[in-house]
Structure 1
Amino acid sequence: MGKLLGIFLIAFALCQVSHSERDWWENGNFYQIYPRSFKDSNGDGIGDLNGILEKLDYVKDIGMDGVWLSPIFQSPMADFGYDISDYTKVQPEYGTTEDLESLIEKAHSLGLHLILDFVPNHTSDEHEWFQRSVANDSYYRDFYIWHDGVINATTGERQPPSNWISQFRYSAWEWNEQRQQYYLHQFGIKQPDLNYRNPNVVEDMKNVLRFWLARGIDGFRIDAVPFLFEADVDPTTGTYPDEPVIADTSSCPDPDDWCHLNHIYTNSLPEIFDIVYQWREVVDQWKLEYDTDTKVLLTEAYTSFENLMRMYGDGVHNGSNIPFNFEMMADLNNQSTASDYDYYVRHWLDNMPEGVYANWVLGNHDNPRLASRFGAQRADLMNIFLQTLPGIAVTYNGEEYGLEDGYVSWEDSVDPQACNADPDTYQKYSRDPERTPFLWDNTKNAGFSTANRTWLPVGQSYESNNVQAQEAAENSHLKIFKKLTGLRKSEPAFSDGDYESVVGDNWLSYRRQAATGDAYYIILNIGNQNVTLNFNELYGYVSGKLEVVASSLQSGLENGQQVDSDSLEAKAYNGYVLRLISEA
């Protein structure tokens, strides 16, 4: 048996409500769809709303409760929908408002809840608000962050008012010739930042939420929350403070790269929380006034752990229902140990406020896919991990069947982060590989589109590995995933059970059991060596037989097969879900 490093018993109690009384989102499974790459219904090479509608039964079949769509609002597509020119219209290449309403209706008929991506930090420079702000319209003049800039004492030339850097590299300030001022853009040049110190901006953005709530939307994933506020102008100097360079520049030597500065004036300012609390009040009031299902907020914030906990609420105000937990996505990799896995579970469970739900996010459209980050051999192990933890699970489309990153050449690159680099370094910045098209079947373009050219190439072999093939196979990544989501819905252990963990030298085991129902034991052998485990020694009270409920595709075990609790061999890179069926 592998060396036992430690035993951790965490009696973590979820909210004290029965499984049947839970709201639709609590303990739920959420699925992120990247619309541009999910399914193309009209052959133009770009995924769309009607394509999603065609495949919504699939989303229901894999066990989802909520479906989050990456941005679909009208946009010039400088950043593929994160540069919005009209928050109340659908981007034409994705469809129409009527198409979206049909999608909402179909989702609700299936018991699914549809969530839109809300991008509040910035608009497109083609948005009417920005155009009016450029023109110095009295209402819109201060909708964005404007400044005259400063005069360089040596050259006499005008330059940006601070050294702030964009997420997409280079200065976060851009000169506007018509207005004769600089505007702030913490992302692309075509994405000017809104000014949340202007109460009219705050109210108009609340009206965007109300507009879509009136059309039946069930919630919003709020983008880039830490960027909503920047330090105000220093009244003594009339300009903005420069941000300090990071202490160790060897980790980010390029002065044009966002990581080169310590963002104390442009990121995670205290004001961001009040805005989130105000948005929560909007959706809660809507539910009460119109007697609807709960409308949820999911917040994206790459920020400190303390800030994430505060995102839930401050004890007086409710905040995000699901402040995305990016700890594992950011800090776990294929070199991580079992202790690392266990640490991040316990860290969240031990520190979150009472009466809220944990959430787990292992992948999204901005990070390499699970099977690429952790190795294809661990694809099932990672989904077993995600689906058997207490709380809410979030899955990025394609990871349910082990989809890996696709190859995208420099010539085919479209991500602005990559395009701002060069042919030698673009892969370091590009998010295109995790956004390549969904693999539905073995027909042209993997069944994603009939077009001769798709917006991104499929980027990988799909003839024998696709959804259709995995559905037809006796066993597959997809079938394992569906087994796991079924357990979450049916077994009290996974909705109400405690988390009790045992950590070995490179394996993690944990027990899930509620007050009623069966006990389940999960094993994740993260390492490259097989280990033999004795559950009675590990937990002190387990004897008898264990039934294999689910296991990695390469485990060699079948569902329903019985194994001895005192001598289970866990193969390298394999995950297992076992049910205790008898006691000696």
Structure 2
Amino acid sequence: MKVLVRLTFLVLSVLVYSYQATKTGPDWWKSSVIYQIYPRSFKDSDNDGIGDLQGIISKIDYFVELGVDAIWLSPIYKSPMVDAGYDISDYRSIAPEYGNLSDFKELLEAAHKNGLKLILDFVPNHTSNLHEWFNKSVAREEGYEDYYLWNDGYVDDDGVRQPPNNWLSLWSFSGWEWNEQRQQYYFHQFSIQQPDLNYRSEKVRQEMKDILTYWLDIGVDGFRVDAVPHIYEDELLRDEPIVPDSGVDDTNWNYLNHIYTKDQPETFELVYSWRTHLDNYTNTVGGDTRMFMTECSSDMENLVKYYGNENGTVLGAHFTFNFYFLGINENTTAADLQSDITVWYQNLPSIYTFNWLTGNHDNHRVASKVGQSRVDAYNMLISFLDGVTITYMAEEIGQENGEVTCEQGQDPSAIKNCTTFNETTRDFERTPFQWDNSTNAGFNEGAPTWLPVSSKYLETNLQEERLASRSHYHVYTDLVQLKASLSAYNSSYIFVNSLLNNRLLEVQKALDDPHQSTYRLYFNTGNEALTVSLDQNYTVVIPSVNLAYTQGLTDNDLVLNSGDSVIIKVL
């Protein structure tokens, strides 16, 4: 069944945001495409089953081919790998399974030679319990006594030692762990092997600035800062209130309202100090802006604070991640998307920069969440909207979740309970990149891989999509090129509409260029075909893979089947 709608621009469009960008050209990151690499799963150069830096170096041409501006590496530091590298034992060394510092410098040189920026993950909230700082703190070595959050706890009426308060770990159960040697509890927001640093210590704050400087001196272009909201805790160690009717037991992190262990005022001040540090570095050394982006699963009020204050006199992160699209699924409506977009346009001051993403290493792959027919639509959406586009590796080819059993699993928070493994694991989205249809999808030369290669690699891989006349890969590269060309102009306004009982999403972008060009994105989020009858001639700029149109001028109605999407230029 086809449903016909005639769209008239001035009548149906709803203005949600208006701003004027700087015509002299924003800094490199403001309209960039940043490509996230999960190094362990990208490319294995030495056939040991684990991706590595030389593997990334071997694929530098691929990033150039995609047209992305920057590559961002998930943690590559020395680590016992309790939490896939987010438990760092040495911030200045490379994990041996990935290579060494010489390999990293080679990668950096190759990236810069090819016009790519390189961004490192920075994990400041905690270290590994094998870090020398923790060992020295346990031993109460002079100068390290307060590097971590230590407390005596108390002895209850039954003579049993108890932690100082009710704070919980994100991985469930108490966030406090008793250390027999020191005879005190230490606090950990994540696993017991990831003790939280104490940022009330001036020495800790300086250590972390020195680490940033170390990597800046080597030549990195910026940082993605992990788990930012958890950096500071309430100095008085007050109990957190219980969430009424949470539906979870008292060991689950969601049992408490985290008013004392998340988004503390001191955390914002710390982020502002890091921005000052990076800006001072750029101003002193010269070159392009060294940027940083913060990972914050917080409410909108706090997300905006991580950017800085409302008038920009105090600056924080260049941007903080927009996770509003992570919850998309095959039933997401146009109204849902309009709401997710509008909340950012309405709440983020116009001096700051948007960012858009649909996936990462902690969330199921887009193709598995929404289906192959909608992959192009979401890649269109995050590249068409103004600001930074962030792509998790292999989203450009529509790679789906892999197949991993609990016995094969590597996610420490999930393999503890095989009954709930399928619901909690992050392994599915971390399986190796599917390069071609050879052994192990071209990830390596055939050695057993750290996570199994998906059986779907024979039908979805880069080689096949390159050869196809139409594919997700080709749509993606066209989108990156379009984004680059449009970013040369100011977007004088953005319109977002939910039409036809929330089945049709329309995004209109008007450019302040000599031709006053207007581009429109249409996405049929419904389950039946729609016919969009336009009142002007238009050029199809980028059609989704299954759309029955090719690029070029047309005056016909647009027929969009379920999941179809298109970007057009109105003439």
Q: TM-score, normalised by structure 2?
A: 0.95
Do residues 121 (structure 1) and 125 (structure 2) align? Answer: yes
Do residues 551 (structure 1) and 565 (structure 2) align? Answer: no
Q: What secondary structure sits across from 1:462 in the alignment?
A: helix
> 2:205 — aligned with what?
202
Do residues 400 (structure 1) and 390 (structure 2) align? Answer: no
Q: CA deviation at 1:350?
A: 2.1
Aligned residue among 468, 477, 481 for 1:473:
468
> 1:440 — aligned with what?
435
Quote the Cα distance in structure 2 between the aligned partners of 1:460 and 1:341.
32
Aligned residue among 303, 312, 319 for 2:307:
312
Aligned residue among 264, 270, 283 for 2:278:
283
Structure 2: which amino acid aligns with 1:214?
D
> 2:294 — aligned with what?
299
Q: 1:453 to 1:492 in 2, by over 3 A?
A: closer
Quote the Cα distance in structure 1 between the aligned partners of 2:418 and 2:163.
29
Cα deviation 1:89-126 (Å, max 9, x = unaligned):
01111011111111111111111100000000000000
Moved more, 527-536 or 51-60: 527-536
Cα deviation 1:513-536 (Å, max 9, x = unaligned):
212143211101111111112233
Question: Where do 1:135-284 residues align within 5 Å?
Answer: 135-153=139-157, 155-233=158-236, 240-250=237-247, 253-284=248-279
> 1:521 — aligned with what?
520
> 2:15 — aligned with what?
9
Aligned residue among 318, 326, 336 for 1:321:
318
Show structure 1 runs of 4+ deviating over 3 A. 2-7, 492-495
Structure 2: which amino acid aligns with 1:212?
W
Quote the Cα distance in structure 2 between the aligned partners of 1:465 and 1:497.
39
Q: What secondary structure sits across from 1:327 in the alignment?
A: coil
Q: CA deviation at 1:495?
A: 5.8
Structure 2: which amino acid aligns with 1:533?
V
Do residues 69 (structure 1) and 61 (structure 2) align? Answer: no
Quote the Cα distance in structure 1 between the aligned partners of 2:20 and 2:92.
38
Contact 2:23 2:490 in 1 (8 A): no
Structure 1: which amino acid aligns with 2:196?
D
> 1:535 — aligned with what?
534
Unmatched 5+ residue regions in structure 2? Answer: none
- RMSD (CA atoms): 1.7
Contact 1:493 1:519 in 2 (8 A): no
> 1:368 — aligned with what?
364
Quote the Cα distance in structure 2 between the aligned partners of 1:551 and 1:3.
20
Cα deviation 1:486-520 (Å, max 9, x = unaligned):
00111358763521233212111121121214321
Q: What secondary structure sits across from 2:482 in the alignment?
A: helix
Structure 2: which amino acid aligns with 1:514?
L
Moved more, 307-316 or 127-136: 307-316
Q: CA deviation at 1:344?
A: 1.7
Contact 2:17 2:346 in 1 (8 A): no
Q: CA deviation at 1:3?
A: 9.9
Do residues 337 (structure 1) and 333 (structure 2) align? Answer: yes
Quote the Cα distance in structure 2 between the aligned partners of 1:273 and 1:3.
48
Quote the Cα distance in structure 2 between the aligned partners of 1:126 and 1:296.
30
> 1:463 — aligned with what?
458
Q: TM-score, normalised by structure 1?
A: 0.93
Do residues 88 (structure 1) and 80 (structure 2) align? Answer: no
> 1:572 — aligned with what?
562
Do residues 346 (structure 1) and 346 (structure 2) align? Answer: no
> 1:540 — aligned with what?
none
Quote the Cα distance in structure 1 between the aligned partners of 2:504 and 2:489.
21
Quote the Cα distance in structure 2 between the aligned partners of 1:41 and 1:494.
41
Structure 2: which amino acid aligns with 1:261?
L
Q: 1:157 to 1:3 in 2, by over 3 A?
A: farther
Q: 1:419 to 1:116 in 2, by over 3 A?
A: same
Moved more, 376-385 or 110-119: 376-385
Quote the Cα distance in structure 2 between the aligned partners of 1:354 and 1:492.
16
Moved more, 178-187 or 253-262: 253-262
Quote the Cα distance in structure 1 between the aligned partners of 2:17 and 2:456.
45
Quote the Cα distance in structure 2 between the aligned partners of 1:172 and 1:11.
42
Quote the Cα distance in structure 1 between the aligned partners of 2:461 and 2:553.
27
Quote the Cα distance in structure 2 between the aligned partners of 1:246 and 1:478.
45
Cα deviation 1:275-299 (Å, max 9, x = unaligned):
1111111111111111121100110
Structure 2: which amino acid aligns with 1:416?
P
Moved more, 364-373 or 8-17: 8-17
Q: 1:207 to 1:296 in 2, by over 3 A?
A: same
Quote the Cα distance in structure 2 between the aligned partners of 1:357 and 1:166.
32
Q: 1:502 to 1:454 in 2, by over 3 A?
A: same
Q: 1:9 to 1:535 in 2, by over 3 A?
A: farther
Do residues 100 (structure 1) and 104 (structure 2) align? Answer: yes
Cα deviation 1:189-244 (Å, max 9, x = unaligned):
100000011111001100000000000000000000000011113xxxxxx32222
Aligned residue among 367, 377, 387 for 1:391:
387
Q: CA deviation at 1:552?
A: 1.4
Quote the Cα distance in structure 2 between the aligned partners of 1:291 and 1:502.
43
Contact 1:184 1:192 in 2 (8 A): yes
Structure 1: which amino acid aligns with 2:325?
M
> 2:44 — aligned with what?
40
Contact 1:526 1:573 in 2 (8 A): yes
Q: 1:524 to 1:368 in 2, by over 3 A?
A: same
Aligned residue among 486, 493, 496 for 1:491:
486
Contact 1:114 1:217 in 2 (8 A): yes
Q: CA deviation at 1:59?
A: 1.3
Contact 2:6 2:532 in 1 (8 A): no
Unmatched 5+ residue regions in structure 1? Answer: 234-239, 537-542
> 1:539 — aligned with what?
none
Identity of counterpart residues, as a percentage? Answer: 42
User: Across the two proteins, how many residue pairs are aligned to each other?
Assistant: 559
Structure 2: which amino acid aligns with 1:172?
G
Contact 1:530 1:571 in 2 (8 A): yes
Q: What secondary structure sits across from 2:551 in the alignment?
A: coil
Question: Where do 1:23-62 residues align within 5 Å?
Answer: 23-62=27-66
Q: 1:104 to 1:173 in 2, by over 3 A?
A: same
Cα deviation 1:248-296 (Å, max 9, x = unaligned):
222xx23222112111111111111111111111111111111121100
Quote the Cα distance in structure 2 between the aligned partners of 1:309 and 1:529.
38
Q: CA deviation at 1:560?
A: 2.1
Structure 2: which amino acid aligns with 1:115?
I
Quote the Cα distance in structure 2 between the aligned partners of 1:166 and 1:451.
39
Quote the Cα distance in structure 2 between the aligned partners of 1:169 and 1:185.
11
Quote the Cα distance in structure 2 between the aligned partners of 1:50 and 1:166.
36
Quote the Cα distance in structure 1 between the aligned partners of 2:80 and 2:255.
30
